[in-house]
Every structure is written in structure tokens, then in C-alpha cells.
Structure 1
Amino acid sequence: MAEKHILLVTFPGQGHINPSLQFAKRLAKHGVKVTVLTSTSATARMSQTLSPSFHSLIDVVSFPTALPLSTQDFPKFVEDLSDRGTKAVEDAVAAKRADGRPYTRIVYNLLMPWAARAARRLGVPFTLLWIQPAALFGVYFHYYNKNFDPSDEVIELPGVPRLRRGDLPSFFMETNPSVYSFVIPTLIDNFEILDGEDERATVVVNTFAALEAEALRDLDKYRLLPIGPLIPSAFLEGADPSDASFGGDLIQKFDDYMQFLESAERESVIYVAFGSYSELPRSQTEAIAEALVRIRRPFLWVVRDSEEKEKLSCKEELEKRGKVVNWCNQVEVLSHPSVGCFVTHCGWNSTLESLAAGVPVVALPQWSDQSTNAKLVEDLWRCGVRAAKEEIVEADEIVRCLEMVMDGGDESRKMRKTAKKWRDSAREAVDDGGTSQGNLSFFLDQIVGGG
């Protein structure tokens, strides 16, 4: 059999790199060679922690951009990423062809449609890796097909609870900063590309069938293959204990939190983290700090900015009851039996990790897809509670939500039971004979094999 080799093109943000690397590892376990391509602004910061079993089949390569991802001129970064990334894809394909070992397929994630356009020009089959829930794919699909108006107060779509305008992704809002005005057109570009295929296009999705059965059924125009959760095996089905991290952290983790978790009682710790990108206003950070002091329960709180941590007005009181760190291995923390609740922005990776760990959620969404994910968590999957929709969520509201999840009453028990049901479903999906495993085999046999 000829070597199967995929070029996987990913946006250089942590939330895109993690599922892309995990997808690469799933493919590598089936003997497929994967080259992950992203910008040097990511790889220069990336800690290479892929376990040795993947080294021979996964390469991470990069191309330079004129500006880093952290630049204030984000539209310029995105334009430059597209121009230079397209050239990098063209060069990579040409080099492999000259070597007599061409790429079997190009896989790209949702902010990189230019990679698909390059693949089409070059005659290489391509597949979209959708790293948000299928429900969000549906929201953008129905917007693309003019099936709703984002200005409507109430929006009803298949597979999604009834949405209020504020439940839509922030990019639809009038308040969306102009620097992110490119996002909706970029996402819509994905559908134009998929619809330009001669046959029914395939999309691999970081979700699992039991979680989003109705949303997946609604989108039968495309062949959606739920192959998630894309989470390290050690914290999911356990088939590969050496696979204990995503393998591409852009931030140095803080290592002394495990002793704290080990010393805590079962399901007693409140874990608080807002991802790799969200930056909270100072007043919101203070409100969270006040709530954690008042709730009088142990907590582990990730505050990425060490200076911000030092400025907290109740720093001494916080340190008496919990632990504040600058980074951690989130899937490791969520999988620890002492963790009883996750206060999160509800980015999709964090949401899916909480579902896979069976940990109920207090949602404080900030932007992007987070409000929609929070709506799904509360009203569809019923494994968490969303804080009231305010620009700054006050301490009283955070305490109310924490007590609802942690007080052990009827609502708390229901949420915890439902969360564990989703954990079991996620593990079944990726185990031998599971739906995600079967969809991955379909991708390998029908897509990669025919590429």
C-alpha cells in the first residue's frame, strides 16, 4: 500500500492547534503520516510534548508571518497569514510531488479556507476539520442560506434550542469589534468551497454523535463525520496512557497544582479557567475573586497574567482557601476526582473537555462561539448553568450559580448525573466499535484511501 500522508493546516491559536494535533494523533495510530502546518508565531512558543510513539508519524512545520498573532493589527495578520500560508501550502505540495510521495489529502480548520482553495488549484483532495460543535456549523450554514436574520429577537433552527439574539456568536452582534469583521465572511467562505465540490462534501467534526444527533441529522447536505472528542486518550477512553497532553502548549504550565488537588475531598474543588485567548476586564476578575472568597470552598484558578494575580484586592484571603496558577494541563485537572465544578468561558475545547470528564459547568461566556455553547450546556445538554447575561457578571450572580452546582440539592444532583452520562457517552464514542471510531475508519477508508 502506498504511503498515506496528510497535510493538516491549522490557525496558530491554542484552541485550533489542540484539536488539530489530537486529530493528527488519531490518524497516526492508523499508520497515516501527518504534517501539521501553522505559522512560526505558534511553533516558536510551542512546547514539543508529543509522546515518543507519535514522533515518527507526525511532523510540525511552520512558515513565517510578518506579524505575530498577538499583534494589535489583527486584520493585517490574517491577510498576511493567508498570503504566506497559501505559498507554504503550494511549496509543500510541490516538494512532495518532486519527491515522488505526494500528499494524499489536505485537511484545514475553519479559519483557513484559503488552504482548501490552494488544494483545489493544485488538484489535491481536501477536507474541512470543524473544531466547533455541529450546532454552530448549523448556525453558520443557515445564515449562509439566509434562513434567519441575526437581528431577529428569537431564532429557531433545527438541532438547537430556541435562541435569543444574544445567544448567537458575538461576530453577529452590532458590538463586534471591527478587527473581527473578517470572521463571518471567512466562515461563509467554507460553505462556498464545500458547495463547489463535485460530490457531497465531507466534514470531520470535533463532537460525538450522541451529543448532537439532531444537529447532525439536519445537515445532511454534507457528510458530517463526528470523530470527537479530540482529547488525549489518557483522559478519555484510556487506550493509550502515554497520550497525556495535546502536545503543543503555547504557554508554560505551572506544575505544583496536583498536590493541592490530591489533598482535596472528592468533587469539592471549583476549577476556574478562561482559555488561552480570553482576557477578562479587571472588574470581572475582581468579581470572580470575591465570589471565590464568599463561597468558602477550595478552588484552583488559572490567572494567566501574573501581574493581574498580584493586584487582586483579596489576594491573601484567596490564598488561604485555594490556589491561583498561571497555567495547567486542563484535561488533567478536569479528570481529577476532586474537581466538582468548572467555571469557564465555554470555548468549545473547554466545553467538550468538561463533557468528556463529566464535570458540571458554570458558564461565563465572553465572545465568539461561547454564548451559543453556554446555551447548549444549560438548555440542551443540561449539565451546567449560565450566569446572567451582563457585561460584567457580579459576585452575587457567580455565587448563586456556584451554589446551584455545588450545594448537593436536587438541581445539583441532576446536573452531576447528566454530566456523567455525557462522559460515558464520549468514552463509548471513541472506544472500539464506537460511533467516532467508526467515522474515523470511514474517513480513512473512503476519503484517504481514495485520495
Structure 2
Amino acid sequence: MTKSGQIPYSFNFVVFSDGFDDGFSSGSDDSTLYETQFRKGGTQCIEETILSNAKNGTPVTCLVYTLLLPWAAEVALGHNVPPALLWIQPASVFRVYYYYFNGYDKLIGEDSNKELMHMLNSIQKPKVLVNTFNALEEEALKEIDGKINMVGVGPLIPSAFLDGMDPSDRSFGGDLFETSKDYEEWMNTKDEGSIVYISFGSLVVLSKKQKEAMAHGLLESRKPFLWVMKDKGEETEEVISCMSELEQLGLVVPWCSQLEVLSHTSLGCFVTHCGWNSTLESMVCGVPVVAFPQWTDQTTNAKLIEDVWGTGTRVAANEDGVVEGEEIKRCIEMVMGKHERGETMRMNAKKWKEVLL
């Protein structure tokens, strides 16, 4: 995207049907059928694009694919187009996968990452583009076994933000949804570094028990907060029993522009699932975090945040896998309060922001 939010004239987009034009429902549709249909439609589209571009005198010189689409590399190789994997998790996590799947294959069943690693092993000197940067993961970005070349190309966030745009203008573009910006006006009324921001990305949905615990932790912390809750539209008593009391202290919204929120001067802490995009954005904005990982790479990201980069602390769950309200309160106070560790986290977060910007 350009600074004006317009798509560059040199970009062309090709669309194809995944076989589920009315949308995929995880509750009723067959996920295996969906994956098969998506692969079939995607393969045909890539092949047609490569062939038509060659015919038009604008040959495809590289195909960039992500970790969930290893079959795309097969299509490219079949047409003599070099593929490059765009790895959207930390380089550290890539190394974990690489060494795990190159040595324990017989112990592992079907897995998308297993297919991906097999694909990479079949390519002579494959290139991996990683959404990270050298200062953050210098060791992890080193060549693997003389076989795999990794290149840091991140952080992949709107260039306008990294180019030092006017700090009073935080409309970075690229948002998928249009919604009310009432939360921004509310944030403008709060003191610098006072707000707790809670968001678990687009996929994670907390259990009702965990939402209740989160609500009580926020109430006990007595700090203003902005909580992104995707199912807020349901009856409030079905979501959180103390919703009315909660909304006297902060805001609960179904969506917000995360970069705008993280870059706001009133923000003091980010309670996050530690998805890699959210992790990078918190570092770019200099915001310390309470790490609340759920799955995939998030637990490793949380480990890096707490023990390597020192920009946050990780919550501890009980035997039922629920993080209690008291624990949430403790972690928020750790990050935002006068505790020595909290001061170090805030200092480290600021340091990484300066490195990036």
C-alpha cells in the first residue's frame, strides 16, 4: 500500500474459486473437502497465471508462498519458476520445525509443516523470507546446515508507520473492516501509559470461564482498558456476567485498528495471545506485554518475549488451563507498576522501538 492507502499501479490481482463461494463454516462444512477444493482451484489459477504471463512477455520470475500452501511451490517448480517461502513466524520457530521434522519423521503423522519441510528439502538451496529483522534474531537467521538460506524481510507492517509519519495521524491503511472510532476519542481522554489493551487476534476465542476471569482481573486492577471481544454482540449475560460493571471502567469493542491503538500515547500494556504479527507490532510501538499464548508458535513467542527480549511477562494457568483473575491482575501490575522488572520491560520495549524506527 502507498502512503495514500492506494494500491500501486504495478500490482495485479487474480482471483479464483475455492469451491466455497458462500463461505466456509467450521461447524457444518467438511474441512478436508475444503482443503482439497482450495488446492485444486489454487493450482489451476497459479498454472494459468504463469502461462499467461509468459505468453504476454511478462514472465513470472518468483512465486512467494506461505507455510499453509506448500503445494504452491510444487506448481512453481513444475513450470521452472523459483519459489520462495514467506515465513510468517519467528526465525527461531522455523529452526525448531526444521530440526524436529528432519530427524523425527517416523514419529510424526500428517502435518502441514511436515509437508512444508519435505518440500523445502526437495529444493536445491531454498530461500526463506522471514517476517523478522537481523537485530532481533541474528543467530536464528543464520544459514541452516548449508542448505537453507533465510533472509529477514520484516517487520511487515505499513511502510508509512516505519517512514516516520506524523505521530498525530495514525491512520496507517490496510484495515479490512470499517467501524466506529469512538474508542480513539475515549483513549484521547486517558493519561499517558495508563490503558491496558486486550486482544487475542482474529482466530482465538476465549472460553466463557476465561472471559469471566479476565473481567475480574481487569476490575481488580482498576486500570482503564480497551478489550477486543469478537462476540460482544451476543447477550451480555451470555458473554460476561459483570459486563455492566466492567464497562464503567473501560471499553469492550468487537474490533479496532491495532496499530492505531498500540501507537497511542495513552497505551501502557498489551495483553496478547503472542501471535507473531501482534508481537512485532508491540515491539515496533514500544509497548510491553502480558503474554497469554494459546497455540502454535505463540508459546515459543511468549518464551522469547519474557526470557530473550525482556519486553513482557507470561501468565500462568491453573490445572484447568484457565488463567485466574488474580494472576492477570498480578501480571498487569508487574508490567505497568513500579516493580523493578516492569521498569526493565518498559525500557526494553522502548529500546526495540528505537532499533526498528
Q: Can you list the C-alpha shifts for 1:242-281, whole angstroms capped at 9, x where unaligned?
A: 99446252x4444211111111111100000010111111
Given the superposition, is the C-alpha separation of residues 131 and 55 from structure 1 closer, same or farther in structure 2, using an over 3 Å criterion?
same
Secondary structure at the counterpart of residue 270 of structure 2: strand
In structure 1, what is the equivalent of residue 10 of structure 2?
Answer: 57
Structure 2 contact 143–149 (Cα < 8 Å) conserved: no
In structure 1, what is the equivalent of residue 342 of structure 2?
Answer: 412
Q: CA deviation at 1:296?
A: 0.5
Q: CA deviation at 1:64?
A: 1.2
Alignment partners' CA distance in 1, 2:196 and 2:106: 38
Given the superposition, is the C-alpha separation of residues 308 and 382 from structure 1 closer, same or farther in structure 2, using an over 3 Å criterion?
farther
Alignment partners' CA distance in 2, 1:103 and 1:56: 17
Q: CA deviation at 1:63?
A: 1.4
Secondary structure at the counterpart of residue 198 of structure 2: strand
In structure 1, what is the equivalent of residue 34 of structure 2?
Answer: 77
Equivalence map 1:364-383=2 (5 Å): 364-383=292-311
Alignment partners' CA distance in 1, 2:183 and 2:50: 44
Alignment partners' CA distance in 2, 1:394 and 1:309: 23
Structure 1 contact 253–329 (Cα < 8 Å) conserved: no
The answer to whether the aligner puts 1:397 opposite 2:327 as a matched pair is: yes
Q: Can you list the C-alpha shifts for 1:68-113, whole angstroms capped at 9, x where unaligned?
A: 3443333332222112111111111122122222222111111111
The answer to whether the aligner puts 1:110 opposite 2:67 as a matched pair is: yes
Aligned with 2:174 (options 247, 255, 260) = 247
Structure 2 contact 175–257 (Cα < 8 Å) conserved: no
Secondary structure at the counterpart of residue 62 of structure 1: coil
Given the superposition, is the C-alpha separation of residues 60 and 247 from structure 1 closer, same or farther in structure 2, using an over 3 Å criterion?
farther
Q: CA deviation at 1:50?
A: 7.8
Structure 1 contact 235–332 (Cα < 8 Å) conserved: no
Q: Can you list the C-alpha shifts for 1:401-421, whole angstroms capped at 9, x where unaligned?
A: 111011122111100000111
Alignment partners' CA distance in 1, 2:63 and 2:162: 27
The answer to whether the aligner puts 1:97 opposite 2:23 as a matched pair is: no
TM-score for the superposition, normalised by structure 1 = 0.72
Task: Number of aligned residue pairs: give it.
Answer: 347
Q: What letter corresponds to residue 284 of structure 1 in structure 2?
A: Q
Secondary structure at the counterpart of residue 100 of structure 1: coil
Structure 1 contact 50–247 (Cα < 8 Å) conserved: no
Q: What letter corresponds to residue 215 of structure 1 in structure 2?
A: A
In structure 1, what is the equivalent of residue 135 of structure 2?
Answer: 210
The answer to whether the aligner puts 1:146 opposite 2:100 as a matched pair is: no
Given the superposition, is the C-alpha separation of residues 208 and 246 from structure 1 closer, same or farther in structure 2, using an over 3 Å criterion?
farther
Aligned with 1:201 (options 104, 126, 135) = 126
Q: Can you list the C-alpha shifts for 1:141-170, whole angstroms capped at 9, x where unaligned?
A: 0112227999xxxxxxxxxxxxxxxxxxxx
Q: Which runs of 5+ in 1 are unaligned?
A: 1-24, 30-48, 151-171, 173-180, 428-451
Q: CA deviation at 1:236?
A: 2.7
Aligned with 1:384 (options 301, 312, 316) = 312
Given the superposition, is the C-alpha separation of residues 148 and 358 from structure 1 closer, same or farther in structure 2, using an over 3 Å criterion?
farther
Given the superposition, is the C-alpha separation of residues 272 and 243 from structure 1 closer, same or farther in structure 2, using an over 3 Å criterion?
closer
Equivalence map 1:337-356=2 (5 Å): 337-356=265-284
Secondary structure at the counterpart of residue 216 of structure 2: helix
Q: CA deviation at 1:132?
A: 0.4
Given the superposition, is the C-alpha separation of residues 59 and 261 from structure 1 closer, same or farther in structure 2, using an over 3 Å criterion?
farther
The answer to whether the aligner puts 1:187 opposite 2:113 as a matched pair is: yes
Secondary structure at the counterpart of residue 420 of structure 1: helix
Structure 1 contact 234–243 (Cα < 8 Å) conserved: no
Q: Which runs of 5+ in 2 are unaligned?
A: none
Equivalence map 1:9-88=2 (5 Å): 25=1, 51-52=5-6, 54-67=7-20, 68-72=23-27, 73-88=30-45
In structure 2, what is the equivalent of residue 287 of structure 1?
Answer: 213
Alignment partners' CA distance in 1, 2:63 and 2:252: 41
Which of the pair is proportionally richer in helix? 1
Q: CA deviation at 1:424?
A: 1.5
Given the superposition, is the C-alpha separation of residues 238 and 395 from structure 1 closer, same or farther in structure 2, using an over 3 Å criterion?
same
Structure 1 contact 269–338 (Cα < 8 Å) conserved: yes
Q: What letter corresponds to residue 230 of structure 1 in structure 2?
A: L
RMSD: 2.5
Q: What letter corresponds to residue 223 of structure 2 in structure 1?
A: R
Given the superposition, is the C-alpha separation of residues 120 and 240 from structure 1 closer, same or farther in structure 2, using an over 3 Å criterion?
farther
Secondary structure at the counterpart of residue 82 of structure 1: helix
Alignment partners' CA distance in 2, 1:216 and 1:57: 31
Q: CA deviation at 1:239?
A: 6.2
Alignment partners' CA distance in 2, 1:401 and 1:309: 29
Alignment partners' CA distance in 2, 1:302 and 1:255: 13
Aligned with 1:320 (options 248, 266, 271) = 248
Q: CA deviation at 1:367?
A: 1.4
Alignment partners' CA distance in 2, 1:187 and 1:111: 8
In structure 1, what is the equivalent of residue 285 of structure 2?
Answer: 357
